[in-house]
Amino acid sequence: MVTTGTDDTAGASVRSETDGAFLARGGRMGAAIAAGDWASAGLPPPQAWPAALKVAVGMMLTSPIPSFLAWGDAAVTLHNDAARAMLGLPDTLGRPFPEAFPIDQGGELLARGRLGESVVMENIPFSRLGQEAWCNLLASPVRDEDGVVRGVLVHCNDITTRVLDDRARLADERRYRALFESMDEGFCVIEFLDSPHGPDSDYIHIMANAAYERHAGIPNVVGQKLREMVPDEADAWVARYGAVLRTGAPIRFEQELVATGRHLSLSSFRIEPPELKQVAVLFQDITERKRTEAALRHLNETLEARVAEALKERERTEEELRQAQKMEAVGQLTGGLAHDFNNLLAGISGAFEMIGARLAQGRTGDVERYLGAGQGAARRAAALTHRLLAFSRRQTLAPKAIIINRLMADFVELVRRTVGPSIDVEMIAATGLWPTLVDANQLENALLNLCINGRDAMPDGGRITIETANRWLDERTARGQGLAAGQYVSICVSDTGSGIDKQTLERVFDPFFTTKPIGQGTGLGLSMVYGFARQSNGHVRIYSEVGQGTMVCLYLPRHLGEEDEEPATAPADAAPAHAERTVLVVDDEPTVRMLVVDALSELGYACLEAQDGAAGLRILQGDRRIDLLITDVGLPGGLNGRQVADGARALRPELKVLFITGYAENAVLNHGHIEHGMEVLTKPFAIADLTGRIDRMLREV
């Protein structure tokens, strides 16, 4: 590298006008060249440089274009002030050109220039102080007086600003094009075509987006003229766009495009400057809206006749609905009764048959067990009748004047034992609660029903709150509750469960209506509560929000006399015992299951038993041989009997299946079709029929 003086003393280094005149007007780089020690670069002092070098350096230094000179075999580098400013160069004077020149193409420029070529390179990227920049390069050979190439002069024209401006413009154009093509509305630009025949002036489409065809129904419009596209209606369009072009005022209008039969909603504005003679049009297809409006006008014109007809149709529909509701209620009542009573009768009749068989054999040891089973089924039948009577408000009540709070201590403990430890039970007893005239046992049954419903709505746990209160109901409030105005005692049961949607809420008091799976509820619980409340001269209301919980409130009239004796709490039923044996018997009714298993055991069959479908399938997944599956149709736990049978056949394709059902809907038959090796026996049935059917099915190959 050449050693130079400081910038402050460099000017003094120019020795004379005669020897250093070519450096005198060279600015900072001229001064640096004059002050440099060029011996290390293989050159004499500047005063002794050859004429060709002096001329080239003088031209380079005074050029406003960033310029470099590579001289001699060593390609010694010299450059002007503009090059230093443009490229942000350090002091590179005297270094070999390939090292000093900061652009990758330097080696190529040097080589081709030495061969005598003039080289032009455009849009060359380079880094300037860490920033991306661009330039155009021009390299020319420098010859001495004998025409020999002694150096290469390189001019660098900085085009960074232009490149960045072009990039920004292209980015704007891409954004505009993306917006233009993605618009849902049709959009186009049309240009005015003047004509020597004024009335024949026209517009040509110079731009249109993809939505143009979708809304207007005309494809490939770019290059088409209005008068060619819509010759019969062009005058109106040309006149509208002409007004926009003349005045510059945008317009909005609706117009039918007769050529395609579409109605369009359009807006149009002039593109500035006016000399462009261009108009932009934005539009969308409103044909469907127009049809709807026309249809609505027609409907309004015939409103009176339609209202009269609608009223007649409504009366017919309401009558049909009332009839359908009656039939649905009858169907629910008879279906529910058939299901529950057939199950109970199967237990009762089977118990008596087994008692008869044991007595005939002189074996009296098991008679007591069958008597207990039959009596238990009979008691449950009586309880079912009791619920039906409660719903119909025909049960026999023994009302007494009591203060309900006195029942609650023992009752709350009963509820806690019933709902389990995952549910908190809270009692909020009103101070000074009035007495009411009510059957205490039936009240507890009703409240227990409500608590069990709350438990079922909270499978993951939650809270049940039982709350008593004194209520004054004025005329308007009482009328809304279906009661007479006056004083009432309320007792409310609320839960934090899943809640009930509005549609279901309207049916919860219907008999045999239940949202629980088949076998998990009779649908009589809330209807019994409703009937009990009405028979006690009160009422029941239900409030619920999906995801928030449910509250059911009983309103009972206040008794103005003294309180009678405290009612006793009914004992809880004992849990049924379960036996395990072999033929697999699946039934949720313990009595029926016991009788079937005992009857089969009498015939020497080995038995297994399960109380629900899931337990039955677990047994079927084991290794033990099973020749026959006997299953009830209505089972709890999410799997009905038909689903259990289908699962069993998937595990054991040849397994024979006997369905026993007291359910009113013949779901097991799959609309009248069952598979080979499957049979149905309806409850109640004789034990002899059961054993005979099993014996025949197992003898068949």
- Looking up residue 145, the CATH number of its domain turns out to be 3.30.450.20
Same domain assignment for residues 279 and 139: no
214/100 same-domain check = no
Same domain? 629 vs 686: yes
Least Cα distance to 384 among 341, 434, 430 occurs for 341
What's the number of domains the chain is made of? Answer: 4
Please report whether residue 297 resides in a domain: no
Confidence (pLDDT) at 340? 66
Residue 573, pLDDT score: 40
Residue pLDDT, tens place only, 105-153 = 988 999 999 999 999 999 999 888 888 899 999 999 999 988 999 999 9
Rounded to the nearest 5 degrees, what angle is found at the Cα of 447, between the Cα atoms of 444 and 450?
Answer: 150
Q: Does residue 29 lie in a domain region?
A: yes
Distance CA 320, CA 329 (A): 14
Residues 280 and 421 in one domain: no
Q: Examine the domain organization and report whether 346 and 282 are in the same domain.
A: no
The answer to whether residues 467 and 508 belong to one domain is yes
CATH number, residue 358:
3.40.50.2300
Considering the domain boundaries, does residue 524 fall inside one?
A: yes
Which pTM value belongs to this model? Answer: 0.34
Per the domain annotation, does 227 fall within a domain? Answer: yes
The CATH number of the domain where 449 resides is what?
3.30.565.10
Same domain for 153 and 23: yes
pLDDT at 183: 83
Query: 551-570 b/e with 16+ CB inside 10 Å = b?
Result: bbbbbbbbbeeeeeeebeee
CA 64, CA 367: separation in Å to the nearest integer?
126
Q: Tell the residue number behind the tokens 């297994």, with chain if given.
A: 608
Residues of the chain with pLDDT under 70: 1-20, 195-200, 318-341, 344, 377-398, 507, 510-525, 564-582, 662-674, 700-701
**Same domain (yes/no): 424, 512:** yes
Summarised one tens digit per residue, pLDDT across range 375-392 is 776 666 655 555 554 444
- Closest by CA to 78, choosing from 102, 96, 104, 51, is 96
Task: Indicate if 473 and 501 belong to the same structural domain.
Answer: yes
Report pLDDT for 182: 79
Backbone φ, ψ for residue 214 (5° rounding): -60, -35
Residue 567 lies inside a defined structural domain of this protein:
no
pLDDT at 13: 37
Q: Any idea what the Cα angle at residue 355 is, between residues 351 and 360, rounded to 5°?
A: 150
Residues 403 and 552 in one domain: yes
Q: Is there a domain that residue 168 lies in?
A: no
Q: Domain of residue 621: give its range.
A: 312-363+577-701
Note whether residue 485 is domain-resident. Answer: yes
Q: Are residues 357 and 479 in the same domain?
A: no
2 is a domain residue: no
Sheet holding 539-545, edge to edge: 423-428, 462-473, 486-495, 549-557, 539-545
Same domain for 150 and 113, yes or no, is: yes
